[in-house]
Chains A and B, each alone.
Chain A
């Protein structure tokens, strides 16, 4: 039961910490535009060379032509295959891709395990012996799990090697960077060791069932946990709680990087939501101390922007 509690608590920490990070981003004031082209929700023709709606004569009279599909076409290979790194930093891609894809596959495996457990709980016939869906799920769990484990371990070793051998990376790496990598490597190693003793990942299936039933389902204890299995559960749980507390949360924060900065090209239209947010910002009262700013904590941005610099007074 202790292991289940640990996983529940860590999952809660993950959700809360990630939720807080997301909430913090959403609560930040609307900032000035700082987009970078290509902006991927542009039309396919413009995306091809990095063009924007600002290329059109009287662009403000034209309809909005943004395309979510174009955005997805770019983001899917960027997230899954790390296309940007492949293009701009190929040497690192060879170790970074297996590392990240290994993590994705482990997350997918966990999802499949939960689905398997859910179907078992609802007594689905799909899991009955010989049923194609049940067999498919079993194969997918094993395939995703083992591929993820192998890629993850290779990726961790490769990243360790690059960070230690390449002075450009080594000189900027801190203890925390090695700790983060070591933490993930330890998880992959434990999971690999557990997998060696249980190649079909039956223990993982049992643990997933236990997670959904707080360990009360009889099948949750068959087979019993191995030492490596316990270590895997501990490491995976702690890792889930740890990631949102570090810069590794970029896995989710990347959404804000792209949608709120790099691709945020939404024009400010009179009477619109952006204008309302800007008006609110202009009411804020800065306290910058340089003489030319003329801020005293009482004057608003609006008043300061309409005033003359200190040198002129």
Chain B
């Protein structure tokens, strides 16, 4: 009897297509072996009775089960209608060429498989193989949309289409972090990450199915109240006032945070999650810009203080709306450029992807904060004392900043100047591994999805971090520098989940925190290791 799963199995009825057993996962080294034998907490039957859970042992979407066979049939028809639109320029000019190329030219050589951290860390679970979901979509497309597809399917690869297959495919599109390591490894250039992205889009734009963290609480809330955190403009200003006071108290350095300054050189937009979860990061930017004499401003307009764009991960329409909103705010403020704070996906969304969306006076120049900061640090505008960062530091490369934008060197130039005990992870730069929180995973927390993320999609990053500090004694505090809010969130969760602060003294933070920590004018350190300051005044 065959036990390996094949793409055709996606439509086979069963309660769970693939289980995630603890012993299948890539083993963790000491002192984390206890996690090698504990399973992901099971889904609670009373909470998942009415939703689709037949893919694996977790849920990202929570699609309601259809009430009748008729409803199932209607959903199948809706899916096919959406699939057709993916291949029409009126509906999908945004990704039509990349999608067509990837759908038509895969040689199924499996080179992508070894590049995928989710597949590798899961113990090579077939459903997580990069071409598994791509091949399912490819076969449905060829069989149900191509002329004569039902006949040629016998030759090119058959598949049955039913509601089970569709519900599983929807969930499966949220088991890929869209890190695109697979696409970088493909000798032809096929992009399985893009195919996962397009599946997500089909479900969102045609069927209205998307994780609530990305849609209702994400882009809709962003456009409605001003931020995906739910923070309204007055709340943002209040928080920044508090941060201003905090920074003075922490560092003994008084900062003024400018708001809505028309004609400023720079409009700085943060991920608003920083304001709530890592206020020091926002304060550190203010300290650096003020000390360097930069002409800058924040915007208090709705969406103007939150640079995230969750649409990048699942919906081109929502993506466009958020990007246009950001550009329009900058246009009206008459700034020379937008500088994007430490947020990886926002970097890619606003700088690269929106570049083919913004026209005329909406096309305001956009720049990575890492570039702006490198210029400030290397130009000698700040008095820096790198001895204040005398602790082991490693750098996490956010996929969206390195692999998708080629911004690799500026952050390293800064670290080489301010962190004497900096060491690279292996591999790093454009060959980095995702934090496991990419494509929205860092903010998705329904049911036991956080357990899945920490156990599977973030596992490779955890192993990389441990390896980077392998030669350091356990009692020495270690700093993982992650210049991206989502990556930072994923690494924070990893550290908590595996008790890595207690067991390995792992800490995390951004790049600006390290810069301010090394500024000679600071009276007190901004970085603390638990109760312990990183340097003594």
Are B406 and A39 touching (Cβ within 8 A)? Answer: yes
Is A122's CB within 8 Å of the partner chain B?
Answer: no
Contact of A38 (CB < 8 Å), options: B188, B357, B363, B406: B406
Contact of B111 (CB < 8 Å), options: A56, A85, A260, A267: A85
Total interface residues on B, using CB and 8 Å? Answer: 94
Contact of A52 (CB < 8 Å), options: B113, B190, B358, B407: B407
Q: Which residues of B sit under 8 angstroms from A54, Cβ to Cβ?
A: 351-352, 367-368, 371, 405-407
- Alpha-carbon distance A34/B102, docked complex (angstroms): 13
Q: Which residues of A sit under 8 angstroms from B94, Cβ to Cβ?
A: 31-32, 281
Is B154's CB within 8 Å of the partner chain A?
Answer: yes
Q: Which residues of A sit under 8 angstroms from B402, Cβ to Cβ?
A: 37, 50
Q: Which residues of B sit under 8 angstroms from A177, Cβ to Cβ?
A: 108
Known contacts A168-B113, A261-B189, A311-B220: does B410 contact A55 (CB below 8 Å)? yes
Known contacts A176-B156, A278-B356, A304-B317: does B97 contact A31 (CB below 8 Å)? yes
Q: Which residues of B sit under 8 angstroms from A33, Cβ to Cβ?
A: 352-353, 355-356
Known contacts A33-B352, A312-B223: does B89 contact A92 (CB below 8 Å)? no
Residue ID in chain B nearest A82 by CB atoms: B187
Residue ID in chain A nearest B6 by CB atoms: A171
Are B208 and A291 touching (Cβ within 8 A)? Answer: yes
Is B414's CB within 8 Å of the partner chain A?
Answer: no
For window 209-226 of B, CB contacts with A under 8 Å fall at 215-216, 219-220, 223-224
Query: How many Cβ-Cβ contacts under 8 Å join chain A to chain B?
Result: 272
Interface 9-mer from B36-44, B178-186, B269-277, B493-501 = B178-186
Is B135's CB within 8 Å of the partner chain A?
Answer: yes
Interface 9-mer from A107-115, A124-132, A184-192, A249-257 = A249-257
Contact of B135 (CB < 8 Å), options: A172, A293, A309: A172
CB distance from A102 to the nearest CB of B (A): 16
Known contacts A49-B430, A175-B155, A309-B321: does B93 contact A34 (CB below 8 Å)? no
For window 190-230 of B, CB contacts with A under 8 Å fall at 190-191, 194, 204-208, 215-216, 219-220, 223-224
Contact of A292 (CB < 8 Å), options: B154, B185, B317: B317
Q: Which residues of B sit under 8 angstroms from A171, Cβ to Cβ?
A: 4, 6, 126
Are B93 and A305 touching (Cβ within 8 A)? Answer: no
Is A287's CB within 8 Å of the partner chain B?
Answer: yes
Are B403 and A37 touching (Cβ within 8 A)? Answer: yes
Q: Which residues of B sit under 8 angstroms from A168, Cβ to Cβ?
A: 110, 113
Q: Which residues of B sit under 8 angstroms from A278, Cβ to Cβ?
A: 356-357, 359
Q: Which residues of A sit under 8 angstroms from B216, Cβ to Cβ?
A: 311
Are A309 and B208 touching (Cβ within 8 A)? Answer: no
Chain A interface size, under 10 / 10 to 19 / 20 to 34 / 35 or more: 35 or more
Is B258's CB within 8 Å of the partner chain A?
Answer: no
- Alpha-carbon distance A31/B318, docked complex (angstroms): 17
Is B337's CB within 8 Å of the partner chain A?
Answer: yes
- Alpha-carbon distance A289/B317, docked complex (angstroms): 12
Are A35 and B96 touching (Cβ within 8 A)? Answer: no
Is A96's CB within 8 Å of the partner chain B?
Answer: yes
Interface 9-mer from A3-11, A22-30, A214-222 = A22-30
For window 297-313 of A, CB contacts with B under 8 Å fall at 301, 304-309, 311-312
* Cβ proximity bits B81-119 to A, threshold 8 Å, 1 near / 0 not: 110010001110111111011001111111101110000
For window 138-174 of A, CB contacts with B under 8 Å fall at 167-169, 171-174
Are B223 and A51 touching (Cβ within 8 A)? Answer: no
Is B233's CB within 8 Å of the partner chain A?
Answer: no
Known contacts A57-B375, A287-B90, A307-B321: does B108 contact A52 (CB below 8 Å)? no
Residue ID in chain A nearest B336 by CB atoms: A58
User: Looking at A32, A58, A286, A287, which has the most chain B CB atoms within 10 Å of its CB?
Assistant: A32
Are A309 and B407 touching (Cβ within 8 A)? Answer: no
Is A135's CB within 8 Å of the partner chain B?
Answer: no
Is B18's CB within 8 Å of the partner chain A?
Answer: no
Is B7's CB within 8 Å of the partner chain A?
Answer: yes
Known contacts A57-B372, A174-B157: does B408 contact A34 (CB below 8 Å)? no
Are B406 and A309 touching (Cβ within 8 A)? Answer: no
Are B356 and A268 touching (Cβ within 8 A)? Answer: yes
- Alpha-carbon distance A284/B429, docked complex (angstroms): 38
- Alpha-carbon distance A282/B317, docked complex (angstroms): 12
User: Looking at A281, A282, A291, A309, which has the most chain B CB atoms within 10 Å of its CB?
Assistant: A309
Are B98 and A261 touching (Cβ within 8 A)? Answer: yes
Known contacts A176-B155, A257-B189: does B405 contact A52 (CB below 8 Å)? yes
Are A305 and B357 touching (Cβ within 8 A)? Answer: yes
Are A284 and B89 touching (Cβ within 8 A)? Answer: yes
- Alpha-carbon distance A267/B432, docked complex (angstroms): 25
- Alpha-carbon distance A56/B114, docked complex (angstroms): 33
- Alpha-carbon distance A39/B81, docked complex (angstroms): 36
Q: Which residues of B sit under 8 angstroms from A175, Cβ to Cβ?
A: 154-156
Contact of A169 (CB < 8 Å), options: B4, B110, B183: B110
Is A1's CB within 8 Å of the partner chain B?
Answer: no
A to B CB contacts below 8 Å, 6 in the list: A50-B430, A57-B367, A169-B109, A270-B359, A295-B317, A311-B216
A-B residue pairs, 5 tightest by C-beta: A52-B406, A257-B189, A50-B430, A37-B406, A305-B320
Given contacts A29-B89, A176-B155, A275-B360, 10 further A-B contacts (CB under 8 A): A30-B356, A38-B406, A51-B407, A59-B371, A85-B109, A85-B187, A89-B114, A174-B157, A256-B101, A290-B207
